[in-house]
Amino acid sequence: MAKKALVIVESPSKAKTIQKYLGRDYIVKASVGHIKDLPKSKLGVDPKKGFEPDYQVIPTKVKVIEELKKASKLVPETYLATDPDREGEAIAWHIHEELKARGKKFHRVLFNAITKPSVLEAMSHPQTLNTDKYHAQQARRILDRLVGYKISPLLWDKVKRGISAGRVQSVALRLVVDRETEIKAFKPEEYWDVEGTFSKGGVEFSAKLFKTDGKEPTLINQTGVNEFLDALKDANWKIRSIEQKERSRKPSPPFITSKLQQEAASKLGFSAKKTMTLAQRLYEGIDLGEIGTHGLITYMRTDCVRTEPVAVQSAREYIEAHYGKSHLPAEPNVYKSKKNAQEAHEAIRPTSLEYTPDRIQSYLEKDMYRLYQLIWNRFISSQMNPAIYDQTAVDIVAKDRGGHEQQFRATGSVLRFAGFTAVYLEGTEESEGDSQDRALKLPPIQEGDSVKNEKLDPSQHFTQPPPRYTDASLIRDLEEKGIGRPSTYASILSNIQDREYVEKREGRYYPSELGTVVTELLVASFPDILNSEFTASMENQLDDIEGGTADWKKTLGKFWKPFEKTLETAKKQMKNIKQQEVPTDLECDKCQHKFVIKWGKLGSFLACSNYPDCKNTQDFKKDDQGIIVIVPKEFTDKKCEKCQKPLVVKNGKYGKFLACSDYPNCKYTQAITLGIPCPTCSVGEIAQKRSKYGRFFYSCNKWPNCNFALWDKPIQQPCPQCKFAILTEKITKKAGLMHKCPQKECGYMEVIDPNYGKVPMEAAEAKSGSAA
């Protein structure tokens, strides 16, 4: 039977879901992302010819295109159903270019949610390809290519081969570097708080120093505190005012992309990349067993808080049924999107309230369930009544010996009506809850009453530097400054880590030496490119192109002319870090000449200024005062296979390794081994290594002569079943710690400790109790 049409989406999982909805009359295929792009080997854009791009088929997509062409010949119509954003529009255009033929009809369909009703509705109202949206994506791609391919070679010449610059990535990196500069330059200042204990009729309550003569108190040292306390001896304290008022807190709107990434980072500890990967899967469709495959959330790349009226009504019905009329506003809550938000997209919400998190938990991976629950709770709470608090503030005053009025204030609030907080609290509100929702226990008092001061407790503090960025705070700053767009935040954060410009320690971003050097050079030579206001302006211009109010070629022309001039100046004036030698006062321990700081593949190091007569080098670090401290070499008992000199431990791109102590005369290196002989060649030893994707593995240190490799950690214990020389150690949630034979044909497996790595029941209950 002839098919009605071909439907092309981006991902195979999405294709599988939609095929079930449309049935056998349709052929549903996946492009698996972009099929065409600018070539990697050259710029691929000619500014002299109107910025015409040289798009080429991605080599790995040749077979995909052949399959799509074959399928398109079987049908009279093709529906381009790639994602409803700029990237999806570009993919649709490129597919159309490859598949278009006379007599064939092409339609554009946009799926905001992958549910049967949404898909059928979109298919029944097809659109045409959006020229303006495609031009906006094309302008962004060309801008990024011009910046990346023109600046990166400069950095290769001046700093290190293989590194790169990015139009948006470099601005994000600058935020991290500038924050680190602020932290290092920060000088803590001392200040003091004073907490007073007051009583009336034997009932005590606490209050903090609030004002001195109506102004902020200025207690900056112990001497001032002592004088302050002395001046208040025998003071007469009175209640100046008692203020009780009702305070309400409104719910937040449903998630947009940036807010989802921030909250998932704060509440769940997810990276932006992980959040978007999980959200993509929830959007494309999950197999819910007998229920069938269903897309669980609306499209996850959006900056609009708008919600369809039908979904709002469903939420209101759910709230009334589960929380009662008291939690339901008389009219639906309406939220305003920020300027330039793409109103065509809804906020991120559940596609159907039929699939509660608890109902489908067994079908979802743990982290996917947690993200779905977060999206669910945020959406439901957005249509609930505000939380109501009773807030009390009591001011106590006294004149000190110098005639200055000292004012102390006691505050507290009590949650009177939970409202939306019965379902959801934002990350910051959650952490502040203890201090915000604390009842103020007072004796019977009235304004003008005298109270007794039982004691005054001073406490010393120091101002703190600004905190280093987390995923949540960096995304928040990118969003507030207009750097990038919702769909790009995750890739921006991944890029600056993958390129080793920053590293994450305990969830916070630290710029690497390479990242700092690159930023300093780019700020000096390309101040506009590294300026957040300039980058935000470019984003707005891309939005204007999409909105049809700006021409993409003219926009690129306005950017290119000044950039081209800046580029030529930078080629001549940018500092050459490779050739730079910074003098120091440290003497070479071999020839007594002074050391200089030089730059190498692994960063800066100390080298003797008497080079090449003396080739002595040393690793170094700077202490908190910026003073250079030589890092002693960590010698081992192993010898270099080339020159027999001792090997030393070094830090490299993929972790620690062994190197000859006579570097740079001898450049021999070796992986650090586990002391376990290789079971294949018996000559080498097994070493732990790390792949370019960051995953650890274990292989023979005689590679490439021996290609033995494992993912699991080896242990020097023979297999009791097949007698192979080693076993491997594996830890799983279900089985705990187990030993396995790496020989697949053997299949030996033994559970060693079923509770290994699991939280004991008592500890889990204690943790649950403390959280509650």
Rounded Cα gap, residues 384 and 650, in angstroms: 58
Query: Quick one: how far is CA 233 from the chain centroid?
Result: 54
Between the alpha carbon of residue 164 and those of residues 61, 154, 245, 316, the distances in Å are 26, 9, 57, 50
Q: Which of 21, 55, 79, 299 is catalytic?
A: 299
| Amino acid, res. 567 | L
Residues 278-295, buried b or exposed e (16+ Cβ, 10 A)? bbbbbbbbbebeeeebbb
- Where b means 16+ CB within 10 Å and e means fewer, 631-670 reads eebeeeeeebeeeebebbebeeeeeebbbbbbbeebeeeb
Amino acid at 645: K
Give the chain's length.
772
Q: Which helix (H) or strand (E) holds 317?
A: helix 309-323
3 close to 18: Cβ distance less than 8 angstroms: no
Asked if 438 contacts 413 with a C-beta cutoff of 8 angstroms, the reply is yes
**Contact of 200 with 452, CB cutoff 8 Å:** yes
Tokens of 429: 């509100």
756 is catalytic: no
CA dist., res. 349 & res. 305, Å (int)? 10
* Residue in the structure block whose two tokens are 């505190």: 225
- Residue keyed to tokens 């730059």: 599
CA-CA distance, 407 to 423, in Å (whole number)? 39
Q: Which residues contact 253 (CB under 8 A, 6 or more apart)?
A: 305, 335, 347, 382
Residue the block writes with tokens 């187990």:
738
Count CA within 13 A, CB hemisphere, residue 87.
15
Q: What is the DSSP string of 120-150?
A: HHHHHS-B---HHHHHHHHHHHHHHHHHHHH
Active-site positions read 299
